[in-house]
Structure 1
Amino acid sequence: MKHRFAGGFARNAASRQTRATPVVIWIKVAVAWATHDSGALDSSRQVYMLELTVNIDIREIDSTLIRFAFGLARQYDAHLTGLQIVSLDTTSLVLPDALIALNEDEQDAHRRRDWWRELCRGHGVDGSWEVVRGYYQSVIERQASLSDLMIGSLCTKDTFPLSGLGPLSRSLLSGGIPVLLVPEAWASDPGVRKVTIAWNGSVEAARAVKAALPLLRKAEKVMVLDGEDVSEAGRHRAPLPLRKWLERQDLPVQWQSIDPLRGNGRAIHEQAKSMEADLLVMGAWGHSRMSEWILGGITRHMLQHSEISLLLAH
Structure 2
Amino acid sequence: MVYRDIQILAEDSPAGAARAAVAGGLAAHWGGRLTGLFPKTGFPPDMLTAEGMGYLPPQTFQTMIDEQAQAIDQAAAKAQAVFEAAAKVAGVAAEWAQVETQGADLIERARCADLLVMAPTARTCLGGPVLTAASIAMANGGPVLVTPETAEISAVGQRVLIAWNGSREAARALRDAGPFLARAGEIHVLTIAHGSLDEGPHDQALRRRLEPYYAKTTFSRQSGQGGADSEILRRHVKALGADLVVMGLFGHARLREWVLGGVSQDLLVAPPAALLISH
Query: How many matched pairs?
Result: 254
**Distance change (3 Å), C-alpha of 1:220 and 1:93:** farther
Aligned to 2:207: 243
Q: What is the distance in 2 between the residues matched to 1:253 and 1:218?
A: 12
Aligned to 2:27: 73
Give the letter aligned to residue 133 of structure 2.
L
- 1:258 positional shift: 1.4
| Identity value in percent | 23
Q: Mark the runs of 5 or more structure 1 residues left unpaired by the alignment.
A: 1-30, 32-47, 157-162
Aligned to 1:313: 278
Q: Paired residue for 1:148, among 109, 114, 122? A: 114
Higher relative contact order (CA 8 A, sep 6+): 2
Alignment of 1:231-270 (within 5 A): 239=202, 241-248=205-212, 252-262=216-226, 264-270=229-235
| 8 A contact 2:164–2:170 mirrored in 1 | yes
Deviation per CA, 1:72-125: give whole Å up to 9, x if none: 23333432222334434535963744542454356544797676544432x142
- 1:173 positional shift: 3.6
Give the letter aligned to residue 245 of structure 1.
R
**Distance change (3 Å), C-alpha of 1:186 and 1:118:** closer
Greater percentage in helix: 2
Give the letter aligned to residue 87 of structure 2.
C
Task: Normalising by structure 1, report the TM-score.
Answer: 0.66
Task: Normalising by structure 2, report the TM-score.
Answer: 0.74
Aligned to 2:18, what secondary structure does the other structure show?
helix
- 1:133 positional shift: 4.3
Aligned to 1:304: 269
Aligned to 1:306, what secondary structure does the other structure show?
coil
Alignment of 1:30-179 (within 5 A): 50-58=4-12, 62-88=16-42, 90-91=44-45, 94=48, 96=61, 97=63, 99-101=65-67, 103-104=69-70, 107-108=73-74, 109=76, 116-121=83-88, 123-136=89-102, 138-155=104-121, 166-179=131-144
Q: Mark the runs of 5 or more structure 2 residues left unpaired by the alignment.
A: 54-60, 123-128
Aligned to 1:254, what secondary structure does the other structure show?
strand
Aligned to 1:26: none
Q: Which range is displaced more, 248-257 or 217-226?
A: 248-257
Q: What is the distance in 2 between the residues matched to 1:78 and 1:294?
A: 34
Aligned to 2:186: 221
Give the letter aligned to residue 284 of structure 1.
L
Deviation per CA, 1:109-157: give whole Å up to 9, x if none: 4797676544432x1422222324433551221011212322111249x
